[in-house]
A = this chain, B = another copy of it.
Amino acid sequence: MSPEPRNVQTDVDRILEAIVYLYTESRRVTKELARQHGLTGPQVTALKILEGFGTLSLSELGARMSAKSSTVTGLVDRMERDGLVRRRRSREDRRVIRLEPTSAGQAVAAAIPVTAMEIFGEALRSLSGEDRAELTRILGKLAERVREQIESREGLGG
């Protein structure tokens, strides 16, 4: 009847464990799907983004993938090596490198359905509509609270 700290902690542990599991597993599955086409998860993500935009600068791509510029450089190096994309220096701003998929890259992107999180989708669809709605609501609220917590401690890097 009174709030028991132990139960709260157990819930916290279970929730974190579930989140880590779900995230890790989703990445693993994406990677596996990509592997069947001879590439890696991030490469598929990049090609899919490029498919939607036609051409992007490296920093624009990085922003959309939540990756730092040095990470993007390496990723693009390997994709260029494998003939999936081409680098082309911009005329207007010579600092900028524009990225465009090769025909091979476009073909691969087209061949891979948006499946990114297919297994997640199926698992989520297998929940009842009520559960799914509840999960959406609570998880959204939780993310918001975490965001608040983090903002209120931005001096974290002390």
Give chain A's interface residues, CB within 8 Å of chain B. 3, 8-9, 11-12, 14-16, 18-26, 29, 32-33, 35-36, 66, 117, 119-127, 129, 131-136, 138-143, 145-146, 148-150, 153, 156-158
Cβ–Cβ < 8 Å partners of A24 in chain B: 66
Contact B119 A150 (CB under 8 A): yes
Asked if residues A149 and B122 are in contact (CB atoms below 8 Å), the reply is: yes
Q: What is the oligomeric copy number?
A: 2
If A24-B66, A25-B150 touch, does A158 touch B36 (CB 8 Å cutoff)? yes
A126 to chain B: which residues have CB within 8 Å?
145
A-side interface mostly: helix
Cβ-defined contact, B156 with A127, below 8 A? no
Residues of B contacting A21 in the complex (Cβ-Cβ under 8 angstroms) = 66, 143, 146
Sorted nearest first, the 5 A-B pairs with minimum C-beta distance are A123-B145, A23-B23, A18-B139, A123-B146, A18-B143
List the B side residues contacting A140 at CB < 8 Å: 14, 18
Q: How far is the CA of A36 from the CA of B156 in the complex (A)?
A: 9
Which residues from B are CB-within-8-Å of A121?
Answer: 8-9, 12
